[in-house]
Amino acid sequence: MDNLSELTSIGLKIILLLMVCFCTIHSLFMMYHWYTFGQHKQTATIAAVVYLFGLFTFFVIMTSAVFTYTYV
């Protein structure tokens, strides 16, 4: 049963890593669209700041959950 706990920890780390890769690529494409096709650069900048702040917050929560994971 200890293996299950360890596997869960490894699984969470893999999911976190995949999400970091996915979100990095996706964010770059999305912000490229805002700056290239958007009407105002200022709107794109505000959206980018809010969006990245949200992403950062969720990643902090996920990372702290993964690295404070304890084997009971």
Binding site for other proteins (CB under 8 A): 1-2, 4-5, 8, 12, 15-16, 19, 23, 26, 29-30, 33-34, 36-39, 43, 47, 51, 54-55, 58-59, 61-62, 64-66, 68-72
- Comparing CB distances to other proteins, the nearer of 5 and 21 is 5
In the bound state with other proteins, the residue whose beta carbon lies nearer, of 4 and 21, is 4
Nearest alpha carbon to residue 59 among 11, 9, 19 = 19
